[in-house]
A and B are shown apart, each in its own frame.
Chain A
């Protein structure tokens, strides 16, 4: 679809932040996420497809492009980057998903577990550093993390399988050739 530069700038300013957050959430690398998002915007600019909801299209395309990049990596590389081994089955809004995860963490975990999880996952500290900060042993940190994951597990399954936000995303899939995850 032919956009003027002004129109495209408006679209970019509106859609870039959620797309970037989604790509970062999947790829765990800001530079790589930015590269993926830029490619999708360029493809949108060059395509002749008219779409009523370009925002949904961009999110879907960014998600699939990110998963394609992950699939190309070896397992060791995936685990090193803490990337998912299983592709998510549904489309989700990254902001909505993050809110759900945070609310579930606050709801199902104990205070200590919540504290440990935030140090390990939010701040990205190592077990040793987190242990030093909390004044407990590394083994305790490990115990709390495993406990948090087990407590979170029942909440995790429904989130992964039932999440669906914008229903018109499926109608965009049929038309866009680069929306699909390559297996």
Chain B
């Protein structure tokens, strides 16, 4: 064991390992071998020259890679932050656009029906009160295909999109209604003037304007 340990058989090795006394003798022998063996002759200058190339290659490379990785990660993080901020800003500034609205089946609104009943005209003539402007009948609001109801229970993003669609639909309808109303108001004014002229002609005896007569009689 002490003289030629490489020649030991497996059985002898297991004896050394498992027998406490033999193991201790081996350990003492190992300790003496390590302590009494001549130490290496160290030429420190030569050792430093031997070690220095390993510093340059590995140390410089590692430092460079670390810095490159740090810069790359910093750029990626900064890009992500900038992208998120820009995206948020765009979403805040962009108004709801028509293109984002779900296409409806019918965008055109029917013309308002202006009803001037003859009976009502007679009654107005007897009472002497001027004819009220024609009642503008708004298009039926019951047309469901123009109205998109926000459904409950839908995801928040879809509900918000549908709410935007409702607003746009409503907005367009309101605008159209205003335009139609303006037209109707003007028509009503015309008709009122014509009627007054006719009344004047019939009851006051003044000759009305011929153009007015033509328009009323539609000749």
Q: Which residues of A contact B (CB under 8 A)?
A: 5, 8-9, 12-13, 16-17, 20-21, 24-26, 28, 30, 33-34, 38, 41-42, 45-46, 75-76, 79-80, 82-86, 97-98, 101-102, 105, 117-118, 120-122, 124, 126-127, 142, 145-146, 149-150, 152-153, 156, 160
Contact = CB atoms under 8 A, between A and B. Distances in A.
25 contacts: A5-B55, A20-B47, A21-B39, A25-B34, A26-B34, A28-B34, A45-B55, A46-B59, A79-B5, A84-B34, A85-B23, A85-B27, A101-B32, A101-B35, A101-B36, A105-B32, A120-B3, A121-B33, A121-B36, A142-B3, A149-B29, A152-B32, A153-B28, A156-B27, A156-B31
A145 B2 CA distance: 9
B182 to A, nearest CB: 78
B58 interface: yes
Nearest to A141: B3
Contact of A75 (B13, B27, B30, B33): B13
Given A41-B51, A46-B59, A85-B26, A13 B44 contact: yes
Contacts of A127: 3
Which secondary structure dominates chain A's binding surface? Answer: helix
A101 B44 contact: no
A84 B27 CA distance: 6
